[in-house]
Chains A and B, each alone.
Chain A
């Protein structure tokens, strides 16, 4: 018992160290997207090169020992080899061992929330969506061994032995047989949930390169991580556009490149239709994230603003626009948004993302509203 407590204490201490290191390096992890390829279903594997893993340290033990034999102090113990022919030089840096630790997505979101000082999100009050949830509330006679209820099984065995007169108070041995086995079982119950949908819209026109998409992908990973930690159920939907827009799956979203022109209004139209069809704002907390290099084709701006204002902003918790700088610089679309909504709109958040190093601040800016 004492031993297990000690291990638990050490484990907690280790987790604290890991959390500290993750926190220390969070900006780098965020900006360089190092975690995205390491994401499992619930865990993220994080490389921590600076982590000192526990190791033995030997004391002095009273200083030098006593040598024996004929040699004098400083005398080589064997003749050295002749000089070799190699030309390479030894490296000057210390070798590094990278330790990988698993952190749950919830923990990661918590660290990010603390580090970015993100306010907790207050869902829009309506939890009208019923979600089937499994709860381990009942006991059954059959089930997998992994769900065996130890205590119930022994109680059943004890009852049986008492009834059969096999129980000896002086020698209290309880041996369960097959019929005594009891297993945990679940019941599904409908529970109200505050649900959220994140709709990502991305410009995939010819001027958006793979580097810009990598930035979008990194941002989306952290946005997902945060919002999933704030809501019971989060759905993600993806829309891509050039001159025309369509809803796609996640993989297509990040890996499509088109050569068409840029009409942002087309994405807004598809987004509005999607909300009409599947995500009524009365039932869902709607988050809209749009990414583009801002090179919208001139005459489309007016139409885009109208759609955004009338159909999207009013029906969403938050509309975030990230203007990712392309090799040709940043377009004018963000200025049009500024003129229409101002810099301090309660629902519209604008961010210019010059390069990967700007991702950290951009996420902070997007999620800092607590909506």
Chain B
């Protein structure tokens, strides 16, 4: 079974439990050399919302900053389906971390929203932030279709592989 199919099945399972379990629900899929995990706040038939989407893997545990930059650039070109261009904003050679963000961030009367994808040794983490006018910035749930959610998992794993 492909990773995409396994995520699909797990989403169905969690959706069926949604009425009985407390939210957020944790999705976790082992990939052999790591695992995909996500904190889901909503799951319905077509879409879902998550607070955090991560891929933790040993393959990145000893990566150099150049290797992480390659991963970041590769993800940058693949994640167009999130409908916001995500590119590296800050690169910390010392800590070996590449911070990527929606560039430009999405802005409207309700404030500013953007994705932040951190490529670090051992893991990739995707979050969504919102900064309403006059209020502090906070992590918010990212709403995506199930198709996009499954594709994210697949792309994260394939890029590192």
Contact = CB atoms under 8 A, between A and B. Distances in A.
Interface in B107-161: 111-112, 114, 129, 131, 134, 136-137
A260 B91 CA distance: 5
B56 interface: no
B131 A260 contact: no
Contacts of B131: 328-330
A328 B90 contact: no
Nearest 3 Cβ contacts at the A-B interface = A261-B92, A329-B131, A329-B137
Contact of A328 (B88, B91, B136, B137): B137
A101 B160 CA distance: 63
A206 B95 contact: no
B23 interface: no
Contacts of A242: 90
A261 B90 contact: yes
5 contacts: A207-B101, A259-B90, A261-B95, A328-B137, A329-B129
Given A261-B97, A261-B99, A297-B97, A327 B105 contact: yes
A108 interface: no
Interface string A316-331: 0000000000011111
Given A328-B101, A330-B131, A331-B137, A205 B90 contact: yes
Interface in A324-371: 327-332, 335, 354
Interface of A: 205-207, 242-244, 259-263, 295, 297, 327-332, 335, 354
A262 B131 CA distance: 20
B88 A259 contact: yes
A330 B137 CA distance: 7
Given A327-B104, A329-B112, A330-B136, A262 B90 contact: yes
Given A327-B112, A328-B105, A329-B137, A243 B88 contact: no
Contacts of A295: 90
Given A328-B112, A328-B131, A329-B137, A259 B95 contact: no
Interface size classification for chain B: 20 to 34
B90 A206 contact: yes
Contacts of B137: 328-332
B89 interface: yes
B33 interface: no
B89 A206 contact: yes
- A interface majority secondary structure: loop
Given A330-B136, A331-B137, A260 B93 contact: yes
B92 A243 contact: yes
A261 B93 CA distance: 8
A260 B136 contact: no
Given A260-B92, A328-B131, 19 more contacts: A206-B89, A206-B99, A242-B90, A244-B94, A261-B91, A261-B99, A262-B90, A263-B92, A295-B90, A327-B104, A327-B105, A328-B112, A328-B114, A329-B111, A329-B112, A329-B129, A329-B131, A330-B136, A332-B137
A297 to B, nearest CB: 7
B92 A297 contact: yes
Contacts of B94: 243-244, 261, 263
B90 A260 contact: yes
Contacts of A329: 111-112, 129, 131, 136-137
A259 B73 CA distance: 14
A335 B136 CA distance: 10
A362 to B, nearest CB: 16
Contacts of A205: 90
Nearest to B137: A329
Contacts of A354: 134
B64 to A, nearest CB: 16
A344 B112 CA distance: 30
A297 B95 contact: yes
Contacts of A244: 94
B94 to A, nearest CB: 5
Contacts of A263: 92, 94
Contacts of A259: 88-91
Nearest to B92: A261
